[in-house]
Structure 1
Amino acid sequence: MATSRDVARLAGVSQSTVSYVMSGRRSISAETRRRVEEAMATLRFQPNAGARALASRRSQVVGLMVPFGPGADTAGVLPFIESIAKCARAEEHNVLLVTEDEGAEAVERLAGRAQCDALVLMDVGAADSRIAVAAALDLPVILIGVPDDPAHLPCVDVDFDRAGQLAVDELAACGHRRIVQLGYVRPSVERDVNYVRRFDRGARAAARRHGIPYTQVIPEDAGNAAVEAALEEALAPDDAGNLGLVVPEGRLTSAVLTGLADRGLTPGRDVSVIAICTDEAAETTQPPVTNVSLEPREVSRRAMHTLFRLLADRHEPTGIDLVQPHLTRRRTTLPHPH
């Protein structure tokens, strides 16, 4: 069965141009439209049957696209899924969860089958192939994440730039003169997930402001052996007393704390550790870790509120909505010098 990518290739245009021709949401030149329509006819491609159906009826379903690609933190997305489902039920909608990592084609297929009234896209890449297609659909779409170009789609997320700044500011206040970020894992870095870049940008800006060297160690994956190897690299200069560790993926925190204990290093006395995780997760580590909060439930609540406003009125103003993180000191950071 032909896809819009096949149509785009035959017509000599981008995939997003094909989507705009199908939806009619942007002005397309007569010549370009002719080439696209001829390619559709040649390939016997049926455009947006689902979008036409959605114009006259509702499915009472919200599509939630969470591609579980290599290195994905499946446990970390559960609070998002739970909160999104709860918000959907409150509006008498169900949630259709799509986990296949198929990019733009998955967006197109889901919308084309008239299965959903709206879409939520998670695990958004800094340059995500799904966005151009999603922006051309004739149904509301919201992003959990902030890509380089949202294509005017509404975005909701934690302010990861601010999270990076908070972590570094606290380690500077503790008197550390060397900061190492342990994580993100290599698959997330290579997929260029949007929040990886944003966190790093905020942390490095704060480190420059304080005049503190800031380096990043990238574990190959989230397994204990990979975290252990990354921790060994972070500690290699053998000056733990000067070292502040930032762990931006909460799932790595327990392995980092265990690795320090195995070396006879006590967080909060010999070294400082700050994790980027929910407050609930921070309370469960041994010892309880100082953290900059992630707010998956608040992010999800705001995203769904915006989504249902758009279902009621597609002309509602939208933009980028950033939830502000906060830092909570626990037992893994040195006291501030007097």
Structure 2
Amino acid sequence: MTTFTALSIRIDTNGGRRRMVTSRDVARVAGVSQSTVSYVMSGRRSISAATRRRVEAAIEELTYHPNAGARALASQRTQVIGLVVPFTPGADTTGLLPFIETIASCAREADHDVLLVTANEGSAGLKRLAGRSLCDAIVMMDIETDDARIPVAATLSVPVILIGVPADNAGLHCVDLDFPLAGRMAVDELAALGHRRVVLVGHPAEVVERGVNFVGRFERGATDAASAHGVALEVVAPVAPGRDGAEAAVEQVLAVGGERPGVVVPNSQALQPVLQVLMDRGLHPGRDLSLIALCTDAAAEAVTPAATNVSLEPRDVSRRAMQILFQLLDRGQEPPDELVQLIPPRLTRRRTTLPSP
């Protein structure tokens, strides 16, 4: 069964019963007609700035909230955005929070609520979400390279935007971090620091087997950069969660003797365990070897020692996705011609990489 969670909840803390404020009350206080109140709220007609200010002041004074059901019937809009985020095994649920927070914030700025769909029902969940007219548009996350939901999403009666880039987007708009560029940036940095061998510590088996789109895209960028620099690149995957998985991964990182390698950790959940295992073995990132993480700046600063990272830019990705989504909802606006938009990452040096030569 699909789990629907409303992210925007209004709570009346008055404790007593009171008459519901209506648009008629707003019109009376503002000294305008009820239809004018409706036009101000819907934006369907041009209203003078002075009249708009009077209506908005009355709305604020009366703390008026339009009835969602009545508004939906009148406009044939629900004012709701569906956000599909399957919490699958191996998923970085902490890393999802900046995306969810930003999407909810952008929705509220546009007077929309967000309906969070948290169960993984695949295409059936999408059909139910659109078929019941529960939302005006859908944002899909956790996109697989060969995602069976995409052909179905392309046929829905509501706009759909993807955060992620599948092999075939079926004509849907996609927004994501430029993961190939992120992979190249990490290897470029390690090569510049003098490392001739790079080891990429990968993801859990569940993520690898599902073919989540960004995993292969990041590795392709890293592979291209390693080839360009003449650097040896190895991928250690899958990596089990927790200390045991980090121990096994570090064993493989150190299996080849000689010069210490440059390490890339694109799985933020493995970052602290890998750092801890290295330090327990007397190897200090930033002194004995270099380590670069693919994660948010907040996650990079939260570990010990603070990690050099290539940023995920979740808020920039989410904001751009919502901008395009509202363009798709507004029939008066033309959506962007390009179907795939990639947000550039940033590399921030902290304590886990060797000093620049």
TM bucket, shorter chain: 0.7 to 0.9
Q: How does 1:73-112 map to 2 (within 5 A)?
A: 73-112=92-131
Work out which of the residue numbers 277, 281, 284 in structure 1 matches 2:295: 277
Equivalent residue number for residue 5 of structure 2: none
Residue identity over aligned pairs, in percent, reads 58
Shift of 1:182: 0.3
Q: TM-score, normalised by structure 2?
A: 0.77
Work out which of the residue numbers 255, 260, 268 in structure 2 matches 1:236: 255
Segments of 5+ residues of structure 1 without an aligned counterpart are 1-52
Segments of 5+ residues of structure 2 without an aligned counterpart are 1-71
Equivalent residue number for residue 302 of structure 1: 320
Work out which of the residue numbers 324, 329, 333 in structure 1 matches 2:349: 329
Greater C-alpha Rg: 2
Shift of 1:315: 5.0
Work out which of the residue numbers 201, 220, 223 in structure 1 matches 2:242: 223
Three-state SS of the structure 1 residue aligned to 2:76 is coil
Shift of 1:316: 2.4
**What is the aligned residue count?**
284
**Matches of 1:305 and 1:299, distance apart in 2:** 10
Three-state SS of the structure 2 residue aligned to 1:242 is coil
**Matches of 1:292 and 1:308, distance apart in 2:** 29
Equivalent residue number for residue 161 of structure 2: 142
Shift of 1:263: 0.3
* Deviates further, 319-328 or 226-235: 226-235
Three-state SS of the structure 1 residue aligned to 2:161 is strand
1:210 aligns with 2:224: no
- Equivalent AA in structure 2 for residue 245 of structure 1: V
Q: Check whether the contact 2:201–2:239 (CA below 8 A) recurs between aligned residues.
A: no
- Equivalent AA in structure 2 for residue 216 of structure 1: V
**Matches of 2:264 and 2:239, distance apart in 1:** 17
Q: TM-score, normalised by structure 1?
A: 0.81
Q: Check whether the contact 1:177–1:242 (CA below 8 A) recurs between aligned residues.
A: no
Work out which of the residue numbers 124, 127, 143 in structure 2 matches 1:124: 143
- Equivalent AA in structure 2 for residue 331 of structure 1: R
Shift of 1:219: 3.8
Q: How does 1:37-76 map to 2 (within 5 A)?
A: 57-76=76-95
RMSD (Å) for aligned C-alpha atoms: 1.6
Q: Check whether the contact 2:260–2:289 (CA below 8 A) recurs between aligned residues.
A: yes
Three-state SS of the structure 2 residue aligned to 1:156 is strand
Q: How does 1:253-268 map to 2 (within 5 A)?
A: 253-268=271-286
* Deviates further, 310-319 or 325-334: 310-319
Equivalent residue number for residue 186 of structure 1: 205
Equivalent residue number for residue 17 of structure 1: none
